[in-house]
Chain A
Amino acid sequence: MGFIDHLIVNAEGNSVELNGAQILVQSLKDEGVEYIFGYPGGAVLHIYDAIFQQDDVKHILVRHEQGATHAADAYARATGKTGVVLVTSGPGATNAVTGIATAYMDSIPMVVISGQVPSPVIGSDAFQEVDMVGISRPCVKHNFLVKDVTKLAETIKKAFYVASTGRPGPVVVDVPKDITDPTIKVPYKYPRKVTMRSYNPAVEGHKGQIKKAVELLLSAQRPMIYSGGGVILGEASRELIELTRALGYPITNTLMGLGAYPATDKQFIGMLGMHGTYEANMGMHESDVILAVGARFDDRVTGKLAEFCPYAKIIHIDVDPASISKTVKVDIPIVGQVKPVLTQMIEQIKESKKQPSKKALTAWWEQIDKWRSVQCLEYDRESPLIKPQYVIEQLYEVTKGDAYITSDVGQHQMYAAQYYHFDKPRRWINSGGLGTMGFGLPAAIGVKLAFPEADVACVTGEASIQMCIQELSTALQYKTPVKIINLNNRYMGMVRQWQEFSYESRYSHSYMDTLPDFVKLAEAYGHVGMLVENKADLRSALEEAFAMKDRTVFMDIITDRTENVYPMIESGKGHHDMKLRVAPGTPTDRELA
């Protein structure tokens, strides 16, 4: 039931009058919002009162505002809808900043409503005042300060419009308390559409450019398709698959693009970049034509720029002109949404008399298969210790490759990316651009709310999980039974790895020797805790955990603490200069353990 159901009709009998708080909540409803993730406080009390008086828009009370942003962000990543957050002024707003920046770096559509002190006292260092518009400015797509309650509904509409179109991103709407004053009522109408003269994101790509791109693609001898998060954001997985299959070319995905092309397909040659596969990075290095789709040539992907793809002509499809030729100069830029651009390319390829050279392609695949035969992801399967890679492989089998996997940041994140083969888009939910530890657990809750029937697992590490552990309480309150796969290596493994490689193993502060008893901790929060110390127990423990459909299970899995993520391009090196794992079963691993 919403406010409109018991609306106040004015004298003319056609206009609805609502107060600012009601307008805000009704606007969210009219926008089709299902969940708001939030935390109350003085500046938003009017809004909370309006939330209390309806039940269309459901509020999820988190335990820390950072959790609210990550949960809303992950909800957006999993569904494609815009995530919504509500926080109070001052500390509520600043606590949300990490999550806003996380969404910003990965181009995730999110609307964050922050309370603000009343307009008349803005600028007076009032209680719980921070300049949220100023603080958030560098990490939002756009932000608004609402100055007039009659503009509130339109501002909310604009916020959703900006957040979800073009290159998506978070938008902050800062709402001073007086704007939501329950005693001031104004006519309410939620605009069905907004236009902004200053904001017209590209949709279709330039026809001439697309034609040139198709010609170049069809004449390639050693082609590579390099696709990223933009394909997922632009819902163009189907088109990407169709194009890739029509061409028969090898494809690699960025960390953010995993799942856009099925990882189990034979044309998929793995992730590229710092911890990408040997075949993907060597393929990029030797390629003569690269089709970059919705990817932004991040430094974790390119490695040393001067040595990046020395032989390749590059086609780049991106909706954001600023992503094009930012770090790597491209030969054929195409500004537009991936979906219509790929659709046009597919049509032109079908119509074209030209075909990819069979001979060249066969030779190219032979070369790729040689690189593949290095088996760069092999690890010591005989080890008596629980290898983190083994855990992910088992997780993949137990969930039949069909779970939503959220992750935190570190080695465990890379193992999840490398060993869980994502066949569908929006299944792999992680913080790539900002690399925010603490993301995984609230993210899992956000995903589980969106897909209550699906298996949702959070792959985490003992350091990361402690950054938002309080959300275990949220998981209980809202009955979001997620599975926490804690790859407990008793190290900030990713930090330790860099220290091992670059600082002669001086493990400065990458170790915590007072870890909590995670099993008891989970139990204290009302969940199931499981400790897995023996390799032999892992499979059955996983099966047992996933069989508990209605319980959140915290699996504390004691893994080999010396394991490192391979392959690796160390910083400052090129794609062809990868550090590979030494032959499986080398003594160092076990000796140290």
Chain B
Amino acid sequence: MRHIISILIENEAGALSRVAGLFSARGYNIESLTVAPTEDPSLSRMTLVTRGNDDIIEQITKQLNKLVDVVKLIDLAESAHIERELMMVKVKTSEATRGEIKRIADIFRGRIIDVTPMTFVIEMTGTSDKLDAFIKAIDETSIIEVVRSGATGICRGEKGLHL
């Protein structure tokens, strides 16, 4: 099963390599990983998407918690949460295809943020599934470049990850 693990970690040099190293050394897979400082500059927040059965996910969270720099973590899959990923897609366009691409982008609530005679850049946020669906919906041969941020997420309601 897919899990989104959100981590508060000391904003120290090497913190990222501790997490990445743990995953490669123990053979866990990382689908995506995003890192940025938080409102407290001494802390970074990482969001990590991984897959595994319950036993593996249990070991992953235990091993992450064991890293001395990890302050706290939460498995978002365990409760109601909101997931978002940012994607930018550059597509080839022509007179004939522009209208169609724009229409599909609209349906997915994407925005066209750059236009040249030959290309569009479409910006879109949503769950990773939704972004996948958009990629499937447009003509594969028109895609020049896809940039995705990897998923981030936050708990709904009172629950959350903070000190």
Say yes or no for B163: interface residue by CB 8 A criterion: yes
Known: A137-B17, A137-B21. A325 touches B58 (CB 8 A): yes
Q: Decide: B70 and A322 in contact? CB cutoff 8 A.
A: no
Say yes or no for B97: interface residue by CB 8 A criterion: no
Q: Decide: B18 and A196 in contact? CB cutoff 8 A.
A: no
Residues of B within 8 A of A143 (CB): 14
The closest CB in chain B to the CB of A137 belongs to B21
Q: Decide: A134 and B17 in contact? CB cutoff 8 A.
A: yes
Residues of A within 8 A of B70 (CB): 198
Say yes or no for B66: interface residue by CB 8 A criterion: yes
| Binary interface encoding of chain B residues 1-38 relative to chain A, with 1 for a CB under 8 A from any of its CBs, else 0 | 00000000110011001100100010000000000000
The closest CB in chain B to the CB of A198 belongs to B71
Q: Decide: B55 and A145 in contact? CB cutoff 8 A.
A: no
Residues of A within 8 A of B163 (CB): 197
Known: A145-B14, A325-B58. A320 touches B66 (CB 8 A): yes
Question: For chain A, what secondary structure do more than half of its interface residues adopt (helix, strand, loop), or is it mixed?
Answer: mixed
Considering only CB atoms and an 8 Å cut-off, how many residues of chain B contact the other chain?
20
Nearest chain A CB to B55 CB, angstrom units: 7
Known: A138-B25, A198-B69, A198-B70. A321 touches B14 (CB 8 A): no
CA distance A143 to B10 in the complex (A): 13
Residue from B17, B68, B71 within 8 A of A141 (CB atoms): B68
The closest CB in chain A to the CB of B71 belongs to A198
Nearest chain B CB to A196 CB, angstrom units: 7
CA distance A141 to B65 in the complex (A): 12
Residue from B9, B14, B55 within 8 A of A325 (CB atoms): B55
Say yes or no for A494: interface residue by CB 8 A criterion: no
Known: A134-B17, A137-B18, A145-B13. A326 touches B68 (CB 8 A): no
Say yes or no for B59: interface residue by CB 8 A criterion: yes
Residue from B10, B25, B63 within 8 A of A198 (CB atoms): B10
Say yes or no for A162: interface residue by CB 8 A criterion: yes
Residues of A within 8 A of B109 (CB): none
The closest CB in chain B to the CB of A167 belongs to B66
Using a CB–CB cutoff of 8 Å, the interface residues on chain A facing chain B are 133-134, 137-138, 141-143, 145, 147, 162, 196-199, 320-322, 325-326, 329
**CB-CB nearest 4 A-B residue pairs:** A322-B62, A142-B68, A198-B71, A321-B62
Interface contacts beyond A198-B9, A325-B58, A329-B55: sample of 16 additional A-B pairs, CB < 8 Å, sorted by A:
A137-B17, A138-B25, A142-B69, A145-B13, A145-B14, A162-B68, A196-B68, A198-B10, A198-B68, A198-B69, A198-B71, A320-B66, A321-B62, A322-B62, A322-B63, A325-B55
